[in-house]
Amino acid sequence: MSFDALIEKVRQAEAALEAQERRAGADWRQLRASWRALWTPGRIVLAGLVAGFAAGRAEPFKRAAGGGVLQLLSALSGLFAGGSAQAAANEAAEAAEAAEAAETAGSADAAQDAAAAATDGPALDAERRYREAGLP
């Protein structure tokens, strides 16, 4: 098969693909229009009533099968949230103590550096030392 024949075959395949895309787009538009036309106000109300009835009938099964799982998950999330809040409060207290100690020493810069060292840890402490030494 020659190169020109291969190019022509690719062009035919592209044309067939574009025609299929146009057909799929037209089918989708038709489906969307007919779907919207089917949902009249009466049918919407009827669907709501049926869904409410089904949810009411399924309530006893839901309570018997999975009510405890949701309570367990909510209790565990509260436990983890409480632990992280306590850790944040401890860090804030340490930073406040470090800032207060530095302020009593008399320097506002020392207070900021002490507070930053207490909250951010050794990485920022090393950066502060480099900055004071004039290094990048």
Q: Tell me the per-residue pLDDT of 78-107, one tens digit each, with 9 for 90 and over.
A: 666 666 666 667 777 787 787 777 667 665
Tell whether pTM > 0.85.
Answer: no
φ, ψ dihedrals at 36, nearest 5°: -65, -35
How many Å is the maximal CA-CA distance in the chain? 90
* pLDDT class of 18 with cuts at 50, 70, 90: very high
111-131 pLDDT tens trace: 566 555 555 555 666 677 767
- How many C-beta atoms surround the C-beta of residue 23 within 10 A? 10
Mean pLDDT for 14-32 is: 95
Q: What is the pLDDT of residues 35-73, one digit of tens each?
A: 888 888 888 888 889 888 887 777 665 665 556 666 666
pLDDT of residue 124: 62
Q: Which residues contact 65 (CB under 8 A, 6 or more apart)?
A: none
